Amino acid sequence: MKNIFKVTLIGIFISMCFVSCQSDITSLNEDPKHPSTLPSENLLATALFQSSYYMDNPSVNFNNYRFFTQQWAEIQYPQETQYDLVTRNQPRNHFNRMYVYSLNNIKQAKINLQKEVDTNNDIKVNKLATLEIEEIFVWENIVDTYGDVPYSETFKPDEILTPKYDDAKTIYIDLIKRINEVIVKVKPTVKGYGPGDLVYSGDMAKWTKFANSIKLRLGINLADIDPALSKATVESAITAGVISSDADAYKFKYDGNTFSNPVYDNLVASNRDDFVPSELVINTMNSLSDPRMEVWFSKVNGIYKGGVFGDLNEPYSDFSHLTEYFRSSTTASNLLSYAEVAFLKAEAAARGYAAGGTVADLYAEAVTESMRENGVSTANTITYLASNPYNAANWKQSIGVQAWIATFNKGFASWNFTRRLDYPILVNPPKSNLSSVPYRMPYSDQEYVLNGANVQAAANKIGGDKATTKLFWDVN
Amino acid sequence: MKKLTTSLLVLVVTSSVAVANAQQKKDTLKTNEIEGVVVTALGIKREKKSLGYASQEIKGSALSDGTTNTGNIASQLSGKVAGLNVTTNNNFGGSSNLLIRGVKSLGGGNPLIVIDGSPVNNTYTQEKNIDYGNALSDINQEDIESINVLKGAAASALYGERGLNGVIVITTKNGKGKDDGSWGVTLSSSVNVGFIDKSTFPEYQTRYGAGYSQKFNSQGANGLNNVNFGADASWGPKFDPNLLVNQWDYYDPTSPNYKKATPWVAAKNGPIEFFNNPTTFTNSVTLEKGEKGKNISFTFDNMLTDGLMPNSRINKNSFSLKVNYDLTPKLHSAFYSTMTIQNTTGRSITGYSDNTMTGFRQWWQTNVDIKEQERAYFANVNPSIASAANNYGNVSWNRKSAGNGSPAYWNNPYFQAYQNYTTDSRYRNFTYAQLTYDLLENISITGKISYDRSNLFAENRLAVGSVAQAFGLSGNDVGSGYARRDVTRSETNYDVMINYKFDITDNINVSGVVGGNVRRNYLNSIFASTEGGLVVPGIYALSNSVKPNLAPDENEFTTQTNSGYVTASFDFFKKFYIDGTWRIDQSSTLPSANNVYNYPSITGSIIMSEILNTKNWMNFWKLRANYAEVGGTADPYQLTNNYRSAGILSGVGIYGSILSQSNPDLKPQRSKEFEIGTEAHFLKDRITLDFAYYKTRTIDQIISLPVSSGTGYTSKVINAGRMDNTGYEVQLGLVPIKSKDFTWNIDVNWSKNKNEVVSLYPGITNLLLNSFTGGVSLNARVGEAWGTLIGGDYEYLNGQRVIDPATGVYKVNANQIIGNTTPDWIGGIRNSISYKGFSLSFLIDMRKGGDIFSTDMYYGMDTGLYKESAIGDYRDKNVILPGVLPDGSPNNISLSQFATGSNYGYETQPSKEFVYDGSYIKLREASIGYTFPKSLLAGTKIYDLKIAVVGRNLWIIHKNLPYADPEAMVGGGINSYGWSIGSMPTTRDLGVNVTFKF
């Protein structure tokens, strides 16, 4: 009996362990070192960093905009100028940076913002508007990079694991609608976010101009496919007020410590010599005696020499290099500049829209701003404009070439111009992996594995998931 | 909770009632025969014949006697146990990966290691691209009495979820002094030296030198050609001893060739001269005394290794103490503590980036003489001349250009070895203390605490003057830096067990355990680095940072599992056995609604040889069968998102994005296994055969399921997936000759495991496990075995490879299945012969199948390093690649080799071309030993003296992977499958061991 008692006692002891240990056992699973929710301001800052860095990144592994516009050439490893978009998974990488690293943080910020308290409800309204405008900006990049993309069924990981691809024009129209809705909500007398707004520091007037400038970009792209909608969108954006000075431009600032300008990271920090300006850029600017060359490129044996696009260009020392102008770690990523907006207004005027000026004047304003932006003197600017005035006989070439030069190193903005205006003429290199220059990025390879039915349906709808398939608005 | 308590109480009460009944009878504890007793789960000793599941025992001597001391007992199990797949890579101090019965969890999984009944940590540590080894290497092989490998779920059900992948039970030796009761002293000493097996290192072509195309791109001031310094490839101009060119040493004032052009020839000393012969000295002392119930054993072991790469060494010291003492005739105590201190310098960098070996195998110039690089490093690093002008000693063959001496991509290999080296010290202590009280003759109670703790302190250095590389917390490219990591891990187990044993009738008895366990695991780590480079060269301190340091990355977790278990083993007439176990776990890493799970097992065996009358020719025959389930829990912090800081930008905290959506409703995962087997001994054990067949199914796996990025995440933590493993294991032992003086034993192990990923999640057919440089990935794909390699393949038309008419090179079909890393079968054959005092043995270790993608060949054939790329006049004329055009006609597109570079490798052929069958046959171990006869030793204090000449990895009899060892993968765990990149060459190790016993 005594032994049964002893054994039973021990049995009770064991089970007591369970009872006492139960209460603290699940609490062990809370990470003491890492937060599970963040303030919306930090999520905004994170999203702004990710979207800016990766929209501007010249690395061969992400967007290849500078090669789609043939402005940069490669040295020893020419695969990307030969339009190899498979080996390095550029479509997948850019897709992920936009959806997962940028948009998902905005979405989460919007949710977290609801639970935050602000002294003034108008500030909260502005904050929500900031998030909305930034979100629209990232969507614009995605649609104009890929075409039809997942939009309406996205960001619902508990319900929809395989979002369908929405028609690009429908997305465009929705984005324009969202811009129209958000700009009336903004309270311009009050600030939005504080230091977490690493672009405009809470200045809502600038956010509004920026939103209108996105609308201008979207509207102009529609010009060849829906002239009526295009005209209405563009005119209402310009009337409401678009970016009208460098101070209004969308510039993401880096501090050069942990976070540096992506061009700096790829030209300087990597300690590699992979990129030089292309022959096309050098020849085009040479023929115009363009004073910006002196700012951007170094001379070799007294002349500018560009790399052959799509080929090996060795040794590096034989070619013009990108100067110190591009090599600062603290230079901001200027993703929507005043110069670009001015060129868009000039183009609007050329198309017969009410753009607030004549084509020639707006053209001059745009070129002047680009010159000023690059530190060219007023005198040289005037000389340049005198030798290269607006040419109404071929407005697409006139505006197209100048816009392409002005958006050198602003890859995405530049690509919109070349696709829409078809100048300068881009020649598919002999060793190209594609049958023409790219008009879009193919879909992420992972989508075929993880969302196969939907991406395949989208591929069929757009006429083939190839880089050579044109976007819905790129009809000419 | 209440239900749990009640049911547990019921169990305890019923068993105690049974005990009470049993007490009426007089106990007749049968003495176990010492032979045939093996140690199973929880340290319980069982007669092997009563076990209803597959297990295999290796004696300590079989583990270590026939081979050189590798410093890692995991590697020494290779080829010795059917169903145990051991892969040992060549990383210095690196991991060995153990896998029993195939991959059962989608993330891969390693068996549990248990010492004297207590689990020990065997995690492998891989931080960034350095393999810190697996913790099993801390266990001193001198302490090991035997290892028993429990292969299936039934064997390991008592260990709960961590037994899912099998259990390796290590039993330590008890002290045994001399017969006269005095102290026994054992001294052993060994020296091993390694010699490179040339079949595991590139054989370079010697006809063409630096460049991507066959022209010299620039000329020097002297009018002569400059070598294409910046091109880290050998598809350059043809060698010509009459041609004088300006090479990298033209610019080095310390070189005899300073400002002198030299003949354009292949280097006399290629990269193989970079390596030293690895040398290992091992010395150990054991002091022991005692007898059963009162014994003590103390061991000290020191191992000093100088590695293959310059500036690499390991100094390992371990101490262990084992005490068994009967405090009273009924109260037994046992204590074991082992402590290992290991200091390592110069661990190898693995993977693609900044790995000198990757340079030798993929990106090299055949005109570069490695001994000249050595001379240049030592001359230039001299403090009197080291400065920014000569990159502080980093005078590289890979200058950016004639005018720019900064290295383009690769440091001088000696600079890399002597300046950019890692150091780490690891302190490991495993201790347990146990008290057993014999309550009655047939009931005993044991209380035990075990504690396993390790501290790792590791430092990485990047010296000023180096090529910029990703370094430190931010992972930004920098030219210099310092990083340090401190990791503390511990596991504590509290166990209470009641062992019972009683007779139900004279011929039927039951025994077992009722017990409870609380296990706590703890991890605390901190990683800190400089940012932006070092201010002052040569000072490796966090304060010496150019830019403000990021906040150190801290990680901490504590997990706890509470468990209770019951076992009962019935013995009927010593002919028929049935075992049952039942275990219940509660885990802290699952949500409280789902955190309790339980699982049973049942095994049975019949000793047919007792029932039939076959003793004269078949002295033993057993049939066995079992079924078991095992539950499994999640890693910590899977239930909520956890944001990690990425730094501060203009005063604002930036965070890393959450890539994997957490799941607050996770459930435990579960595995079910069924096994049948038979064991038969013939002709008085002259022939022994063991055969097992098993089928395992794992469901509800906790995995990070990849999802469309349109959801905002790249993956989602989920219970999903079913993976099935089916296989056979065969062990065959033969004793062809057995006489008084001469015995010949043959042991054969063979196993085949067929794995299938049956399902993942509706709509998802692929889980990405790992990505390899070169466009290939390792995946779990539905319908295939785990370990599917996906990459680019050729396009085929009627079996012919299709050429792309636009380029003249092969068309690539992306996203194809190009291989699978799961082997077809593995096996080993061991022959041991002993004649009087001499013993001879050798082990042949084999694997069939298991594909490997070689990034080394993928790039190295394009850069023209290997002799296959320069056969005949291949490079001197245009080439038409064999294949057909899309219309089916033979290819007629002529490609120039001279102007545009190579037509081999990644620019021409898809990744599939570089997937190789990983089969191998290796002479793994061989030894010749002599044990001095006692007669010779009479009169000396020595009572046992043994000398052996041993060898390891002496001969790769067969392999398909060119220029590399098919076992040399990147690291342990998930990094041990399917990828050959930048591996070190394998050495043939020879050694001499001497053991004295006083």
The SS3 assignment for A165 reads: strand
Calculate the alpha carbon distances from B446 to B335, B397, B433, B593, B787 in Å. Answer: 13, 66, 10, 32, 43
Residue B479 sits at the chain A interface (C-beta within 8 Å): yes
Calculate the alpha carbon distances from B551 to B542, B545, B557 in Å. Answer: 11, 13, 19
The SS3 assignment for A87 reads: coil
Tell me which residues of chain B, numbers 759 to 788, contact chain A at a CB-CB cutoff of 8 Å.
Answer: 761, 763-766, 775
- Tens-place pLDDT, residues B955-985: 999 999 999 999 998 877 777 889 999 999 9
Q: What is the mean pLDDT of chain A?
A: 93
The SS3 assignment for B584 reads: strand
Question: In the 3-class helix/strand/coil scheme, how is B631-676 assigned residue by residue?
Answer: EECCCCCCCCCCCCEEEEECCEEEECCCCEECCCCCCCEEEEEEEE
Q: Which of B925, B920, B878 is nearest to B898 (CA)?
A: B878
Question: Where does B44-143 show beta strands of DSSP type E?
Answer: 45-47, 55-59, 84-88, 96-100, 112-115, 118-120, 124-127, 130-134
Contacts of A195 in chain B (CB under 8 A): 650-652
Q: Is the confidence at residue B768, as pLDDT, over 80?
A: yes
Q: Is the confidence at residue B27, as pLDDT, over 60?
A: no
Q: Give the number of beta-carbon pairs within 8 Å between A and B.
A: 296
CA B566/CA B67 separation, integer angstroms: 41
What pLDDT, on the 0 to 100 scale, is given for residue B159? 78
Q: Is the confidence at residue A261, as pLDDT, over 90?
A: yes
Residue B550 sits at the chain A interface (C-beta within 8 Å): yes
What pLDDT, on the 0 to 100 scale, is given for residue A436? 94
The DSSP secondary structure of A394-413, one letter per residue, reads GHHHHHHHHHHHHTTT-HHH
Residue A233 sits at the chain B interface (C-beta within 8 Å): no
From the list A11, A312, A317, the residue facing B12 with the nearest CB is A11
What pLDDT, on the 0 to 100 scale, is given for residue B939? 81
The Cβ-side half-sphere exposure at A117, using a 13 Å CA radius, reads 1
Distance in Å, alpha carbon of A9 to nearest chain B alpha carbon? 9
What pLDDT, on the 0 to 100 scale, is given for residue B619? 87
ipTM entry? 0.92
User: Given the DSSP bridges, would you call strands B124-127 and B55-59 parallel, antiparallel or unpaired?
Assistant: unpaired
Cβ–Cβ below 8 Å for A259 and B654: yes
Residue A301 sits at the chain B interface (C-beta within 8 Å): no
The Cβ-side half-sphere exposure at B26, using a 13 Å CA radius, reads 1
Calculate the alpha carbon distances from B477 to A464, B30, B434, B473, B772 in Å. Answer: 38, 70, 52, 11, 21
Least confident of A267-276, B22-31, B81-90, B875-884: B22-31
The DSSP secondary structure of B311-339, one letter per residue, reads T-EEEEEEEEEEEEEEEETTEEEEEEEEE
pLDDT (average), residues B804-815: 88
Tell me which residues of chain B, numbers 379 to 408, contact chain A at a CB-CB cutoff of 8 Å.
Answer: 400-401, 403-404, 406, 408
Residue A302 sits at the chain B interface (C-beta within 8 Å): no
Whether A204 and A191 have beta carbons less than 8 Å apart is answered as yes
Cβ–Cβ below 8 Å for B12 and A14: yes
Cβ–Cβ below 8 Å for A18 and B641: no
Calculate the alpha carbon distances from B830 to B106, B207, B736, B748, B749 in Å. Answer: 33, 44, 13, 6, 9
Q: Which of A138, A128, A246 is nearest to A197 (CA)?
A: A128
Least confident of A254-258, B26-30, B745-749: B26-30
- Give the best residue of A2, A6, A10 to mutate against chain B (max B CB count within 10 A): A10
Residue A2 sits at the chain B interface (C-beta within 8 Å): no
Whether B640 and A38 have beta carbons less than 8 Å apart is answered as no
What pLDDT, on the 0 to 100 scale, is given for residue A13? 55
Q: Which of B87, B154, B191, B22 is nearest to B992 (CA)?
A: B191
Cβ partners under 8 Å of residue B89, min gap 6 = B95, B96, B131, B967, B968, B969, B970, B971, B972, B976, B983
What pLDDT, on the 0 to 100 scale, is given for residue B899? 60
Cβ partners under 8 Å of residue B808, min gap 6 = B880, B881, B891, B893, B894, B895
* Alpha-helix runs per DSSP H in A71-154: 90-96, 104-114, 121-146
- Tens-place pLDDT, residues A371-381: 999 999 999 99
Contacts of B812 in chain A (CB under 8 A): 86
What pLDDT, on the 0 to 100 scale, is given for residue A251? 97
For residue B274, count other CB atoms closer than 10 A to its CB: 20
Tell me which residues of chain A, numbers 248 to 267, contact chain B at a CB-CB cutoff of 8 Å.
Answer: 253-260, 265
As a whole number of Å, the CA-based R_g of chain B is 31
Q: Which residues of A166-202 are buried (b: 16+ CB within 10 A; e: fewer)?
A: bbbbebbbebbebbbebbeebbeebbbbeebbbbbeb
Calculate the alpha carbon distances from B596 to A12, B160, B370, B534 in Å. Answer: 19, 12, 61, 52
CA A414/CA A96 separation, integer angstroms: 22
pLDDT (average), residues B215-233: 92
From the list A6, A29, A37, the residue facing B636 with the nearest CB is A29
- Give the best residue of A17, A25, A111, A155 to mutate against chain B (max B CB count within 10 A): A25
Q: Which two tokens stand for residue A302?
A: 């007294």
Cβ–Cβ below 8 Å for A45 and B807: no
Least confident of A433-442, B34-43, B852-861, B909-918: B34-43
Share of chain B above pLDDT 90, in %: 60
What pLDDT, on the 0 to 100 scale, is given for residue B30? 26
Q: Which two tokens stand for residue B223?
A: 């009018």
Residue A152 sits at the chain B interface (C-beta within 8 Å): no
For residue B701, count other CB atoms closer than 10 A to its CB: 23
In chain B, the N- to C-terminal Cα span, in Å, equals 58
CA B747/CA B685 separation, integer angstroms: 12
pTM of structure: 0.84
The Cβ-side half-sphere exposure at B984, using a 13 Å CA radius, reads 28
Beta bridge partners of B448: B434, B495
CA B811/CA B418 separation, integer angstroms: 44
Q: At what angle do helices A338-350 and A204-221 cross, to 10 degrees?
A: 40
CA B453/CA B471 separation, integer angstroms: 29
Q: Which of B182, B188, B185, B144 is nearest to B291 (CA)?
A: B182
Q: Please tell me the total number of residues recorded for chain B in this structure.
A: 998
Share of chain A above pLDDT 90, in %: 87
Q: Which two tokens stand for residue A259?
A: 């976070």
What pLDDT, on the 0 to 100 scale, is given for residue B119? 84
